[in-house]
Structure 1
Amino acid sequence: MNTILKAGALACALLSGTAAAATAEMTLRYVEGSPNRGAKSRALTDFGNELAKLSNGELEIEFHWGGALLKWGAIFDGVAAQTADMGTLIAAYNPKELQGQGIGDLPIGESGDAWVGSRALHELLTTNADMIDALARQNIVFVGAIHTTANQVMCKGADIKGVADLKGKKYRGAGIYSHALSDYGATIVNLTYGESYQALDTGLVDCSQVLLYSIDPYKFWEIIDQVLIIDWGQTAGIVAGINKDVHDRLSDSQREALRKAGDFLTDRQAEYLIEEDLAARAALEAGAYGRPVEVIHASAEDEAILDEISKKYIDDWKTNMAAQGYDADAAYAQYLELLDKYARERDEKGYPWTR
């Protein structure tokens, strides 16, 4: 009988050890709506490699690109319900549920700088109790901030001199940026970003919102004749998030590895975007696209107009955030302080990857 008991105990111990080994390693399914190309996908791939390294191989990322598992509009629900473990969450698709992170949508101060804006959002979403709770209510934990770079304006045949000349122009924009310009007097034409080329080429629109690094791959340089540099916020509050149940099942060391990898992602994606943005600016200024494109830099008057037409949408965010039971004024004030903090750090020390 003792021999049988000992054998049984040994078998249990071996099975227990096997189960422990099996649960020590985990593959996290990450859904991303865009194809596997560009700054964001490069940064996400680096993030996956960094997480594997920091967790000693215990955590690996299996990426599902281009809506292969979930389309953009379904990613939030999919991550919240654990159809996927992780994903890129865009506040514009789920404005009520992702109201907190939607602060990243707002055209405030230096938020258009990819590093300053993402760093400020990252710290806000990891230190502000209301912001953490707002995501936790949706069964989401923030991992890292993702930026788009600042919004600019490109035109064809519009002969604009500044923001004031957008009144009466047919304009393609997105989110609060199109709403604000509509309030100002522009005629908004609802099109996707990918439809901007044909719309400008055919005269369906006079001007369009643009991210400078997209001018080359989308071949906008073939048709536009003006670019107005306004550095007006960013297009969307975007984050990498993880299902909270999955997050809570991780060990302490795995959660710490994920935290550090998310911090890495925030800086790495900003680095890639800023490199592409600076290259696009240099190409425009040097006339490197092979045809003339006039570059107009925003004046103090332009900045004053943009600040004025943005106020309503900042107030709307505060109202909607407060309606969910949160201290919106405190979160907004902290975000402003963080934008100033990281802008000063950039000005004094440069970007982290240049130090």
Structure 2
Amino acid sequence: MLKFRNLAAGLAVAASLALPAAAETVIYYSHNASAKGTIPTTLNWYKDRVAELSAGDIRIELQWGSALFKATAAVQGIGDGVAEAGTVIAAYFQKEMAAYSLANLPISGSNAWVALKAADKFMRSDPQIAEHLAKSNLVYIGTFTGSAVNVGCSGDPIRSVDDIAGKKIRGTGVYGKVFGELGATRVNLSVFEAYQALDTGLIDCTQGYTYVVPALKWNEVMDNYTVLNWGQVGGVGFFMNKQFFDDLSQSERDILVQAGAEMADVYGRIVTGFNAKVLAGMRSGAGEHPIEVIDLSAEDTAKLNAAAGPFIEEWKDNAASVGLDPVALMASFEAAVEEYTAEFEAQGYPWDRATN
């Protein structure tokens, strides 16, 4: 009897070895920057979360530094299947990302978590967005944000909107255009060129995000930093090749979407933490080069919003030009901002809430 059991067990093992192994789904993801920073930290979390939810059946291969395609070719690169997924910066694709570009306007306010949750809900809620993305063979998975746009200067600070006129400023998207309308001289430089430009006097000020100040060593050449309490560049997201996505099983698609939805809270916590730490350090006067922190008044922020009006109208015209309904999209996004603003005011950040 024992010999028979051993023989049966041997046959079962042999049969199992003859069966093909379960196929692993591998997703190559292209990111335009280095493997360090807030977005890479979140992408690594997403990779691990998908592996956890799929019990290892889905593997994300992260490719850094535009190894597969440049940021300006992301829509075509993902749509053509050069990578199954990747980071898309909406500012580079005004037509293809017409709806998503709404997240780059000063509508969501300065709270990164509110902006993330609102943009994420917005991108999932309206069928016309999915239909428009499908034309580029894309599916939306999740969102990031540069977080609130502020401005740091060498020399005289910006204490009010009146101080913007005459400044030579490196701007960021619509926020830079608004400063130009208010009398600033806009200087076209990348974020990585701002340090030298401030140091040499080529520019007086640079717009940017709080967490990049120490990362790019702006704190060495800035004398002051004005918190604008204004808006964000939120049109930076995780997109996937639609044909590839549609060919996955329903359970695989559900896992990718679930992790993408969870990503807003994860990234929100990361970027909010970085910003708070850097801003607290500046307010405390820490470091060899103290930086004065100035908070723009609500009245001045309202003036900035008013000056942004023409650029919001430009967005509406662009959205309409590709067949989208800008009025419906604006209403949807503003409703999401109101929803998550109310949730934040009532409950605070999700990671700070008491758990039972």
Provide TM-score, normalisation by structure 1.
Answer: 0.92
2:18 & 2:129 partners in 1: Cα distance? 39
1:115 & 1:236 partners in 2: Cα distance? 11
Matched residue SS, 2:215: coil
Residue matched to 1:149 = 147
1:16–1:77 Cα change, 3 Å:
farther
CA contact (8 A) 2:46 2:259 kept: yes
Matched residue SS, 2:308: helix
Matched residue SS, 1:28: strand
Residue matched to 2:261 = 263
Residue matched to 2:283 = 285
Residue matched to 1:322 = 320
CA contact (8 A) 1:162 1:296 kept: no
Residue matched to 2:94 = 95
1:120–1:16 Cα change, 3 Å:
farther
Residue 183 in structure 1 maps to residue 181 in structure 2: yes
Residue matched to 2:128 = 130
Q: CA deviation at 1:179?
A: 1.5
Q: How many pairs are equivalent? A: 339
2:160 & 2:178 partners in 1: Cα distance? 16
Q: CA deviation at 1:122?
A: 0.6
Residue matched to 1:350 = 348
CA contact (8 A) 2:91 2:235 kept: yes
Matched residue SS, 1:212: coil
1:202 & 1:55 partners in 2: Cα distance? 52
1:180 & 1:186 partners in 2: Cα distance? 9
Residue matched to 1:205 = 203
Letter in 2 for 1:53: E
Q: CA deviation at 1:236?
A: 4.6
1:171–1:107 Cα change, 3 Å:
same
2:18 & 2:30 partners in 1: Cα distance? 32
Q: Which moved more, 1:98-107 or 1:176-185?
A: 176-185
Q: CA deviation at 1:254?
A: 0.5
Matched residue SS, 1:131: helix
Residue matched to 1:21 = 22
- The percent of aligned pairs where both chains have the same amino acid is 36
Structure 1: stretches of 5+ with no match in the other structure = 1-12
Matched residue SS, 1:216: helix
Matches within 5 A, 1:333-344: 333-344=331-342
Residue matched to 2:161 = 163
Letter in 2 for 1:146: F
Q: CA deviation at 1:309?
A: 1.1
Letter in 2 for 1:202: T
1:162 & 1:125 partners in 2: Cα distance? 34
Q: Residue by residue, what CA displacement relative to the aligned partner does 1:104-124 show, whole Å, maximum 9, x if unpaired?
A: 1111142x3211111111111
Residue matched to 2:5 = none
2:193 & 2:212 partners in 1: Cα distance? 13
2:54 & 2:272 partners in 1: Cα distance? 28
1:36 & 1:251 partners in 2: Cα distance? 30
Q: Which moved more, 1:134-143 or 1:155-164?
A: 155-164
1:36–1:144 Cα change, 3 Å:
same
1:230 & 1:150 partners in 2: Cα distance? 8
Residue matched to 1:52 = 51
Q: Residue by residue, what CA displacement relative to the aligned partner does 1:249-288 show, whole Å, maximum 9, x if unpaired?
A: 1101001101111012222111100000110111111111
Residue matched to 1:237 = 235
Residue matched to 2:11 = none
1:120 & 1:28 partners in 2: Cα distance? 27
Q: CA deviation at 1:14?
A: 9.7
CA contact (8 A) 1:70 1:78 kept: yes
1:16 & 1:234 partners in 2: Cα distance? 56
Return structure 1 stretches of 4+ with deviation > 6 angstroms.
13-16
Q: CA deviation at 1:300?
A: 2.5
Residue matched to 1:4 = none
Cα root mean square deviation, aligned: 1.7
Q: Residue by residue, what CA displacement relative to the aligned partner does 1:176-209 show, whole Å, maximum 9, x if unpaired?
A: 1111211221100100101111111111111110
Residue matched to 2:222 = 224
1:100 & 1:138 partners in 2: Cα distance? 13
